[in-house]
Amino acid sequence: MIPYGRQDVTEADIAAVSVVLRSDFLTQGPEVPRFEAALAEACGAKHAVAVNSATSALHIACMALGLGPADLLWTSPNTFVASANCGRYCGAEVDFVDVEPETGNMSAEALQEKLQQAAAAGRLPKVVVPVHFAGHSCDMAAIHALGQRYGFRIIEDASHAVGGRYRGEPVGNCRYSDITVLSFHPVKIVTTAEGGAALTQDDSLAQSLQRLRTHGITRDAAQMHGESEGPWWYEQVELGYNYRLTDLHAALGRSQLDRLQEYVERRIELVQRYDELLAGLPLKRPGRRQDTRSAWHLYVIRVDEAAGAPPRRVVFDRLRAAGIGVNVHYIPVHWQPYYRALGFRRGDFPQAEAHYADAISLPMFPLLSEAAQDEVVAAVRAALAA
Ligand SMILES: *Cc1c(COP(=O)(O)O)cnc(C)c1O
């Protein structure tokens, strides 16, 4: 089976992790700050706070922005459940903004309309979480402008998008947001096994993220309520968690990060080949805007029944039977029983539902060979035949 995504672990990665295994610190040693410095530099952010998953990063990002039970968080329905769950962890109400048909990203127009209605009803969101679907940045300038006008804070869920660019600048530099979140799960662009990070330009948000990942504890006198009683002294100033990344994971991440641009360039090559080889078939290739360089976490085709393709389910089953590990991104989050129980229904976000209905994610990862890609294309061609 050719999987839809997989990691690339090199001898250099293995050596970097082995160094940590033989060192004094398996966690809370020097590797996490080194990884954070490398991440901050790669993304053009002032601060990077590494944690044990993107889910944890989303949670403490919401907490750092003060999201609470009286508040609203809005995100995209075309995402992994974690982008919405972070709001629920804070007790906030979650709602969704429908997507653009071409990119599957949160639509700035739909957001504007929903904000106008929310302003009239006095129920504006405190936090909006745009998700850079498949690695393609949302229209952040437009979303940021709405944030200025309607007073919400922005967390970019860039779990798919590290190494990408928007308007000539790296995703993660937070020019249009308060915090950007990354994931280092093995199917994503670079991996630490499990792991994630929150990036920000803001010193006080960074302090808050650092405290929240480790129990709400600080050893910094400036953040303490009382006087330090000696070198052993620390204060828990709020309720945090143990969301720390280990030095083993950080060493893997830093070694992987050396190849970030190589990875993205390889993904772009594979996209160009898919675009050429799939031309003329009854499917839509993934949309993109000129101002964005996608990191291409996913290559999502849309099965075009109107152009003569069989139903998505048939195409999907044929591809799996042919040994192609295709997948579907994403089941609309508001369809999940947990969110249905909160009042959402099928039909609530028609563009995200239409995207789900005909989407298939083809294999896309740096180690995918051209021969294997040709095999995928031949299977797609056969699966699309009547
Ligand atoms: C993978 C993913 C997450 C969660 O990442 P973890 O590191 O597994 O917690 C969140 N949001 C999106 C969009 C993702 O793809």
Question: Which ligand 1 atom is the nearest neighbour of the CA of 131?
Answer: 13
Cβ atoms within 10 Å of 238's Cβ, excluding its own? 13
In the annotation, is 284 catalytic? Answer: no
Same fold yes or no, 2-257 and 260-384: no
260-384: in CATH 3.90.1150.10: yes
Domain boundaries, the chain: 2-257, 260-384
The beta-strand segments (E) located in 150-227 are 153-157, 165-166, 169-170, 179-183, 196-200, 217-218
CA of 151 to the centre of ligand 1 (A): 26
Strand-strand pairing, 153-157 and 179-183:
parallel
What is the rounded CA–CA span in Å between residue 202 and residue 363? 37
**What was the pLDDT predicted at 386?**
81
Cβ atoms within 10 Å of 373's Cβ, excluding its own? 20
- The per-residue pLDDT of the chain, averaged, comes to 98
CA of 195 to the centre of ligand 1 (A): 10
Question: Which ligand 1 atom is the nearest neighbour of the CA of 55?
Answer: 9
Question: Which ligand 1 atom is the nearest neighbour of the CA of 297?
Answer: 15
CA of 135 to the centre of ligand 1 (A): 12
Q: What letter does residue 359 receive in the DSSP assignment?
A: E
Q: To test the ligand 1 pocket, which listed residue (85, 99, 159, 245) has its Cβ within 8 A of the most ligand atoms?
A: 159
What is the rounded CA–CA span in Å between residue 181 and residue 172? 8
Per-residue pLDDT of the chain (386 residues; tens, 9 = 90+): 999 999 999 999 999 999 999 999 999 999 999 999 999 999 999 999 999 999 999 999 999 999 999 999 999 999 999 999 999 999 999 999 999 999 999 999 999 999 999 999 999 999 999 999 999 999 999 999 999 999 999 999 999 999 999 999 999 999 999 999 999 999 999 999 999 999 999 999 999 999 999 999 999 999 999 999 999 999 999 999 999 999 999 999 999 999 999 999 999 999 999 999 999 999 999 999 999 999 999 999 999 999 999 999 999 999 999 999 999 999 999 999 999 999 999 999 999 999 999 999 999 999 999 999 999 999 999 999 98
**What's the helix, strand, coil split of the chain in %, to 5?**
40, 15, 45
Second CATH level (architecture) for the domain 2-257: 3-Layer(aba) Sandwich (3.40)
**What was the pLDDT predicted at 329?**
98
**What was the pLDDT predicted at 239?**
98
pTM for this model (two decimals): 0.98
With tokens 């990408």, the residue in question is 164
Cβ atoms within 10 Å of 183's Cβ, excluding its own? 29
Structure tokens that stand for 311 in this block = 């139903």
Q: In this structure, are residues 195 and 31 in contact, taking their beta carbons and an 8 Å threshold?
A: no
The one-letter amino acid code at 258 reads D
CA of 50 to the centre of ligand 1 (A): 14
Closest protein CA for atom 5 of ligand 1 = 54
What pairs with residue 197 in β-bridges?
Answer: 50, 182
pLDDT, tens digit (0-9, with 9 covering 90-100), for 160-169: 999 999 999 9
pLDDT, tens digit (0-9, with 9 covering 90-100), for 23-53: 999 999 999 999 999 999 999 999 999 999 9
Interior angle at CA 107, CA 191 and CA 315, nearest 5: 65
